[in-house]
Chain A
Amino acid sequence: MLPCYQLHTRFIPARYQAALLLEYADAQDLSSQQVLAGSGLHEAALLSPDARLSPAEYLHLLHRINQLLPGAETALQLGQQLLPGQLGPISHALLQAPSLGHALDLLLRQQTWLSPLLAPHLMQLGDQTLLYWTDACISPRLRGFVVDMMMAAVTGMSRWLSGERLPWRYRFNRTRPASLEQYTVHLGSALQFDDCLNAMSIPTTWLAQAWPRGSQARMQLALDEASLLTAGGPRESLLAALYAHLSRQLRNTPCLEQASAAFATSPATFKRHLALHGTHFQAELDQVRTHVTLQLIHNQGYSNEQIAAWLGFHDATNFRRSFKRWTGLTPSVLRSRLLPGI
């Protein structure tokens, strides 16, 4: 297994991610000194071809931008320009994506480069496809900002490449902001807050619709070229790797000891790594269970008893109480939201 990246791993191409931020700040009449203040980074060094940022440094820059330009608009506008991006062959492949399905598949496979802070995942819920994000390397105060940025990025890219506004619906795992105008104009009015995950969904039929400028052959060509470039880099973040591990092991009563063994470290070290990312083992496990519950409810129509049994809970009451603790919602609330759009 290739090594996972963590908060202080330097791998993000500064020339793209940082340059985009500085360019945006410049358009808002902010100097690069203002954005870089306190980061220990220098503009000239940042824009050199080989400069790499760690997620922590990237987060610091985003935090500065958010401080200097408060308001929901900043993240949404930044996101609009983010994809396909200027990442050489990877962006080129994205630009050639023949359909939304291909583009999302690429986003997931090249997550390290296209979305280093939040890991995107796909989930089928009935006739909807859900694109949802879990933490890769993030600080809690910026999670909302980066979620907005990534949602705007995917929205903007799919709108640009398909040539039309796609019927995305948005779900946010946070309380409803005081004013929604920026979200309405940049994303659309299908917005749901106080939800159990950060996701955007679309009817699955849209994934196969051909995009006007796409070409599978040219995309593949660019991808081959990209694989040469990304060969030495990290494949995914520690948290994303743990998420995948827990998803696989969910029915084998996963525990910290087992997980740390899979990552070839001691439980104490593993715990420390997780703490550095602002989380702990149980929280990560509960997150996976939440997402699986969502699928069991939507796709299998499972009752609380059946889900409790599937996840290895003692009984339905126990599961219900736990679910309420994980998400702040009861499973029945989730069921009542089953069919979006109706």
Chain B
Amino acid sequence: MPILPRSALIVMLVVSCLCALLYGSLGTAKAMAVWNWMDIVGEGGTAVMSAIWALLILGSRPRGRVTSLLAGGLAAIMLGAWVDCLDEFFSIPQQQLWDNWLESLLTPGGMLALTAGLYHWRQEQWSLNEHMQKRERLFREHRSFDRITQLANADYLHRQLRMEQARQPDATCALILLDLDQFHRINREHGQREGDRLLQAVSHLLLLNMRPQDLICRYAGDRFAILLPATTAGQAAQIALHLQRALAGLAHHTRTGEHCLRITARSVWGVPGDDLEAFLAGLNARLEDDSPAMAAGLASA
């Protein structure tokens, strides 16, 4: 079981002190006049920064092989730099070789471990990307992610739409806006937490029913936006209808198991033109026409 940052910090401090003791007891202290300040700052700084990196990795990543390799490698580099730094304060008799070994083993060993960690991290990222597919496309912006549904927000959608148009000005892409009916009543009657749980369930269900190249965002509140690259308005209509059917089949059980909530959704779709803002405003206005008859999708290209 890998270690927590605090215990990792303690371990690193203890080992560093042990090294210092080792040098202190086996070597002789150098006079302050011959200290090479440039080296001390450089090597000491490397040690401190490596330690910080190792702690950041341990603090931010889930435990596992990749984390251990990355943090272990950085810790070894830290010790290597520290030992180098101690060399500036103590002189070790020439006939003792252990300090040379320490110096020449720790840093390269740490670098090897770090490299292996980065290699595996790349592979890990591949499998995570697969998981993130449909939630993000082409670029990553962690600040755009909604805490509840783990979907990107409207800002991200705007940028994606602009990018999609810039990348393929000739291909049509389509957009679906999907709004849950009477969602406000669920918040009111079952509480906000239950409403959030339902939003999570809905986003999962939508994700499962989308094509791999599509992108889903939480537009705001209970409104979702689905970007469909290289899709015509007709195809978008079919997809929207399918998503609505999928939602109609959802049986959401409340946390207490007391109630089973059924939901329906309305959706509108269109093909964005040059004026994205007007396009989105138009889609939203059509969603608000509360008429029970399904809003007909119209291409605005």
Interface residues of A (CB under 8 A from B): 23-24, 27-28, 73, 76-77, 80-81, 156, 159-160, 164-165, 179, 181-182, 184-186, 188-189
Contact = CB atoms under 8 A, between A and B. Distances in A.
A181 B220 contact: yes
Contacts of A23: 192
A181 B219 contact: yes
Interface in B117-146: none
A63 to B, nearest CB: 21
Nearest to B188: A160
Given A160-B185, A181-B154, A189 B193 contact: no
Contacts, number: 52
26 contacts: A23-B192, A24-B192, A27-B191, A27-B196, A28-B147, A73-B220, A73-B221, A80-B184, A80-B187, A81-B187, A81-B188, A81-B192, A156-B188, A159-B184, A160-B185, A160-B188, A165-B288, A181-B154, A184-B281, A185-B179, A185-B221, A185-B223, A185-B284, A186-B220, A189-B284, A189-B288
A188 B288 contact: yes
Interface of B: 147, 153-155, 179, 184-185, 187-188, 191-193, 196, 219-223, 281, 284-285, 288, 290
A24 B196 CA distance: 12
A179 B154 contact: yes
A179 B144 CA distance: 13
Contacts of B184: 80, 156, 159-160
Contact of A189 (B154, B285, B290): B285
**Residue of A23, A73, A185, A186 with most partner-chain B CB within 10 A:** A185
- Dominant SS among interface residues on chain B: helix
- Dominant SS among interface residues on chain A: helix
Contact of A184 (B153, B192, B284, B290): B284
Contacts of A160: 184-185, 188
Given A159-B184, A165-B290, A181-B220, 12 more contacts: A27-B192, A27-B196, A76-B221, A80-B184, A80-B188, A160-B184, A164-B290, A181-B154, A181-B223, A182-B220, A185-B219, A185-B222
A184 B222 CA distance: 11
Contacts of B222: 185
Contacts of B188: 80-81, 156, 160
Contacts of B223: 181, 185
Contacts of A181: 153-154, 219-220, 223
A302 to B, nearest CB: 33
A161 B239 CA distance: 34
B221 A186 contact: yes
A23 B194 CA distance: 13
A288 B221 CA distance: 36
B220 A185 contact: yes
Contacts of B154: 179, 181
A188 B290 CA distance: 12
